[in-house]
């Protein structure tokens, strides 16, 4: 059975799947969640994963610096 709700596309920023897009039930882990989950992108190579994590960390660092300056 499906809830028939639109499924948003999210982007994972974990160390295991940086920048990888996926569809996930908008109900999350709440009652009524039908457990729908599907990756959009292929799994990154080790090189791509390292590069994406480094870029993610640089962006997060700049955002923190900017927030502290304001």
Tens-digit pLDDT profile for residues 23-65: 988 776 666 566 788 999 999 999 999 999 999 999 999 999 9
**Helix, strand, coil percent values for the chain (each to nearest 5):** 35, 15, 50
Inter-residue contact 37 to 21 (CB < 8 Å): no
More confident: 17 or 30: 17
Q: How far apart are CA 1 and CA 46, in angstroms?
A: 37
Give residue 42's pLDDT.
Answer: 95
Give residue 33's pLDDT.
Answer: 62
Instruction: Band the pLDDT of 7: cuts 50, 70, 90.
Output: confident
Give residue 30's pLDDT.
Answer: 65
């Amino acid at each position: 059975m499906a809830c028939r709700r639109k499924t948003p596309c999210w982007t994972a920023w974990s160390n295991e799947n940086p920048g990888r897009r996926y569809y996930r039930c908008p109900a999350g882990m709440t009652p009524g969640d039908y457990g729908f989950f599907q990756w959009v992108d292929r799994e990154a190579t080790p090189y791509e994963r390292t590069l994406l994590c480094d870029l993610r960390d640089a962006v997060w660092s700049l955002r923190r610096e900017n927030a502290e300056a304001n």
